[in-house]
């Protein structure tokens, strides 16, 4: 469990570093970006393998569906610097999404699927491996005034099957250079 | 002549000078980014983040302190690189000097290569201590004389003047690197040099600026498959066909330019298998090699990774012959060092003149020396508190756990903003130059004074 917490923290820190490196003088540094992505990959692998083992048990208690409890969780997160804060917010929101999806797959007999609210209607593939990791930032990280945050920001753009969200973002780090 | 100094760590090191601003508020442009002695040790060059090069010259003798042979004074200062903008990529190109390498002296002038991320420049530093006097057509101040007033003809003479040191850019080697240049190295043939960026190494002729040969290219066809980058490269000190390059994966490849035009296939691959018990999230980062240096005799090379210095025998590829721990107590702090970015710091390393001692920097303005012959090491500190002339430096010790003894400093008290990344050792004498963030410290040994 500790490893999982550490992995999540490392992922959040890494993403904030990646974002910060885009505005660095001299442009993206290939070496640094590569090292960041390697750390993220290790942390992601640890994170996924530990989530797979604990998810069935944790699905129920980990459901912060109402805004009040979500706000509570956000303030409890450690804030080492200002940048990771939007990441953490997105992390919490995204964990909501993944948990809600898990709930769906666990089988809801009473819910009217036709009239489900947009936040629960995700075109992402179900399954634990491709569940949106909760360390990924949502669009809130770059939010313009008046813009709305979507529950699955990148999922609707994906056309590739068989790739998790994180694989996509990690591999895209380098070519973006 | 080559001085035979006593053993490295039996030596007592004393303070000689410190260069740079005193105040704690460091201007970013003043951050020292490279330090290099020339081949005789008479000149010491530094480059900084603001693109400037400052060259110090060794004084012959100081009357007040005759035993002080390491007095260096400013010889020349010039702006080597300016900030540039790449319009195609909308990227700013930093003016920070990444490396300076001296050319061996051929005539009265001195030459050095200085490089930023994208452009290498050859600078000529020459002295002028005479000027012409007695022109026929011009006055002293340069105004032209009235031709009618000239009644006789004379030969202008050279008269002494105050020494003036001029730096002029003789060659600009540009537009050959897509990625950021990390190394330049002058070949022992004195005609060519290499420049290395993250993915490619180019071979240049010092006279020719409009073309270079690509000798190493590790760029994958698909950048998504990128797994390692080049971190440093150097020519062998006396075999002009041989060079090495280190990688972010902790490997070193030795290449022979006679084997093929493109040296993608190495002649030797130096790699030490990782200790599985040390595996962590940050294993890849800390195994990345930040510097590689051949020994002066050309039989060994030294590599620096985040926590250690390794000496490799060029004849043995499967493991280093010596490994020295620089600051092993940081291994348990890697997560914090990742968060504060220190884990990305690129420390350099250097050999002394007879390859018996190696030196590298650490945090808290500490630097470490490892005496290979006597298996001894010492930690010293560059600080203004120990800066009386010829004051002997006291060895420092980091307390790694348990009860802290007097004079020891605990790991948590170390100042990670005070890092020594660049050090240089005089090629013929026991004089060292150690760069803190914006100050240059010069130390000499006491015994052979």
A26, A38, A46: residue with CB nearest B284 = A38
- Report phi then psi at B322, rounded to 5: -140, 145
C-alpha dist (Å) from residue B6 to B40, B298, B373: 20, 22, 11
- Report phi then psi at B421, rounded to 5: -95, -30
Two tokens, residue B59: 């004084």
Torsion of CA A37, A38, A40, A45, to 10 degrees: 140
Task: Provide the percentage of residues in chain A whose pLDDT is more than 90.
Answer: 12
- Identify the top-confidence range among A36-40, A71-75, A149-153: A36-40
Q: How far apart are the first and last CA of chain A?
A: 35
pLDDT at B124 over 60: yes
pLDDT score of A134: 55
Confidence of residue B90 (pLDDT cuts 50, 70, 90): confident
* pLDDT mean over A68-75: 38
Q: Shortest Cα distance from A36 to chain B (angstroms)?
A: 8
Measured between alpha carbons, how far is B305 from B289 in angstroms, rounded to an integer? 4
Which of B230 and B9 is assigned the larger pLDDT?
B230
Q: Residue A76 burial (CB < 10 Å; 0-12/13-18/19+)?
A: exposed
The lowest-confidence range among A98-102, A173-177, B228-232, B284-288 is A98-102
Question: At B4, which helix (H) or strand (E)?
Answer: none
Question: At A76, which helix (H) or strand (E)?
Answer: helix A67-76
CA nearest neighbour of A32 among B248, B165, B21: B248
pLDDT score of A123: 56
The lowest-confidence range among A155-169, B29-43, B155-169 is A155-169
pLDDT score of A111: 44
ipTM: 0.88
Q: Shortest Cα distance from A94 to chain B (angstroms)?
A: 23
* pLDDT mean over B170-177: 97
pLDDT score of A113: 52
Residue A99, number of CB atoms within 10 A of its CB: 21
pLDDT at A142 over 90: no
Residue B65, number of CB atoms within 10 A of its CB: 13
Q: What is the 3-state secondary structure (H, E, C) of B84-95?
A: EEECCCCEEECC
pLDDT score of A22: 83
Task: Provide the percentage of residues in chain B whose pLDDT is more than 90.
Answer: 78
The string of pLDDT tens digits covering residues B63-75 is 777 677 779 999 9
The answer to whether the CB atoms of A31 and B248 lie below 8 A apart is: yes
Confidence of residue B397 (pLDDT cuts 50, 70, 90): very high
- Lookup result for tokens 């290219």: B217
Measured between alpha carbons, how far is B386 from B18 in angstroms, rounded to an integer? 10
Tell me what the pLDDT averaged over chain B comes to.
Answer: 92
* pLDDT mean over B260-266: 86
B223, B224, B229: residue with CB nearest A31 = B229
The string of pLDDT tens digits covering residues B293-346 is 999 999 999 999 999 999 999 999 999 999 999 999 999 999 999 999 999 999
Residue of B nearest to A29 (CA): B180
pLDDT at B57 over 60: yes
The string of pLDDT tens digits covering residues B132-173 is 888 998 887 888 888 888 889 999 999 999 999 999 999 999
Beta strand B397-399 with B408-410 is parallel
- Lookup result for tokens 């004498």: B429
Residue of A nearest to B247 (CA): A31
The answer to whether the CB atoms of A10 and B231 lie below 8 A apart is: no
Two tokens, residue B60: 């012959």
Interface residues of chain A, partner chain B, Cβ below 8 Å? 6-7, 10, 13, 17, 25-27, 29-32, 34-35, 38-39, 42-43, 46, 80, 171-172, 174-175, 177
Residue environment code for A11-20, b if the CB has 16+ CB neighbours within 10 A, otherwise e: bbbbbbbbbe
With beta carbons less than 8 A apart as the criterion, state whether B243 and B233 touch.
Answer: yes
With beta carbons less than 8 A apart as the criterion, state whether B428 and B415 touch.
Answer: no
| CB-side neighbour CA atoms (13 Å) of B366 | 22
Instruction: State the helix-helix crossing angle for A67-76 and A84-106, rounded to 10 degrees.
Output: 130
Q: Which residues on chain B are in Cβ contact (under 8 Å) with A177? A: 223
């Amino acid at each position: 469990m500790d490893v999982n917490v550490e992995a999540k923290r490392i992922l959040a820190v890494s993403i904030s570093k990646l974002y910060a490196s885009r505005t660095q003088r001299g442009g993206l540094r290939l070496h640094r970006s590569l090292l960041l992505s390697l750390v993220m990959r290790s942390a992601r692998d640890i994170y996924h393998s530990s989530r797979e083992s604990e998810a069935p048990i944790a699905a129920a208690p980990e459901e912060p569906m109402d805004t009040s409890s979500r706000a509570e969780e956000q303030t409890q997160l450690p804030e080492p610097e200002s940048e990771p804060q939007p990441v953490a917010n997105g992390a919490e929101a995204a964990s909501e999404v993944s948990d809600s999806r898990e709930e769906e797959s666990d089988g809801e007999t009473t819910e009217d699927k036709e009239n489900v609210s947009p936040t629960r209607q995700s075109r992402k593939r179900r399954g634990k491996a491709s569940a949106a990791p909760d360390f990924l930032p949502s669009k809130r990280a770059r939010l313009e005034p008046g813009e709305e945050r979507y529950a699955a920001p990148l999922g609707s753009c994906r056309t590739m099957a068989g790739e998790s969200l994180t694989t996509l973002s990690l591999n895209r780090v380098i070519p973006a250079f | 002549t080559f001085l035979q100094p006593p053993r490295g760590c039996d030596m007592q090191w004393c303070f000689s000078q410190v260069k740079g601003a005193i105040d704690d508020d460091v201007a970013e442009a003043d951050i020292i980014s490279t330090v290099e002695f020339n081949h005789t040790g008479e000149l010491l060059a530094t480059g900084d983040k603001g693109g400037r090069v400052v060259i110090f010259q060794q004084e012959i003798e100081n009357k007040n302190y005759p035993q002080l042979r390491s007095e260096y004074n400013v010889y020349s200062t010039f702006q080597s690189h300016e900030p540039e903008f790449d319009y195609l990529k909308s990227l700013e190109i930093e003016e920070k000097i990444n490396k300076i390498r001296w050319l061996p002296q051929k005539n009265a002038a001195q030459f050095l290569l200085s490089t930023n991320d994208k452009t290498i420049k050859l600078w000529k530093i020459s002295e002028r201590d005479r000027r012409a006097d007695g022109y026929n057509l011009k006055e002293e101040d340069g105004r032209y004389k009235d031709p009618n007033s000239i009644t006789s003809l004379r030969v202008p003479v050279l008269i002494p003047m105050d020494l003036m040191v001029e730096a002029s850019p003789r060659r600009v080697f540009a537009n050959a690197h897509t990625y950021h240049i990390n190394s330049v190295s002058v070949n022992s043939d004195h005609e060519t040099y290499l420049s290395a960026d993250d993915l490619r190494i180019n071979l240049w002729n010092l006279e020719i600026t409009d073309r270079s040969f690509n000798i190493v290219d590790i760029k994958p066809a698909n950048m998504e498959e990128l797994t390692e980058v080049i971190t440093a490269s150097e020519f062998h000190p006396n075999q002009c066909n041989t060079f090495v390059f280190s990688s972010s994966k902790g490997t070193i490849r030795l290449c022979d330019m006679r084997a093929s035009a493109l040296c993608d296939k190495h002649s030797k691959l130096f790699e030490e298998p990782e200790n599985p018990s040390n595996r962590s999230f940050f294993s890849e980062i800390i195994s990345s090699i930040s510097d590689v240096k051949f020994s002066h005799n050309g039989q060994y090379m030294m590599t620096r990774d985040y926590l250690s210095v390794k000496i490799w025998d060029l004849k043995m590829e499967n493991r280093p012959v010596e490994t020295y721990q620089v600051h092993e107590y940081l291994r348990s702090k890697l997560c914090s060092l990742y968060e504060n970015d220190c884990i990305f710091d690129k420390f350099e390393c250097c050999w002394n003149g007879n390859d018996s001692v190696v030196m590298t920097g650490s945090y808290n303005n500490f630097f470490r020396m490892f005496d290979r012959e006597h298996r001894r090491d010492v930690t010293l500190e560059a600080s203004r508190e120990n800066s009386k002339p010829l004051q002997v430096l006291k060895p420092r010790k980091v307390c790694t756990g348990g009860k802290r003894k007097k004079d020891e400093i605990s790991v948590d008290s170390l100042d990670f903003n005070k890092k020594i990344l660049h050090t240089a050792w005089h090629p013929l004498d026991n004089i060292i130059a150690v760069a803190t963030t914006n100050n240059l410290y010069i130390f000499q040994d006491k015994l052979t004074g």
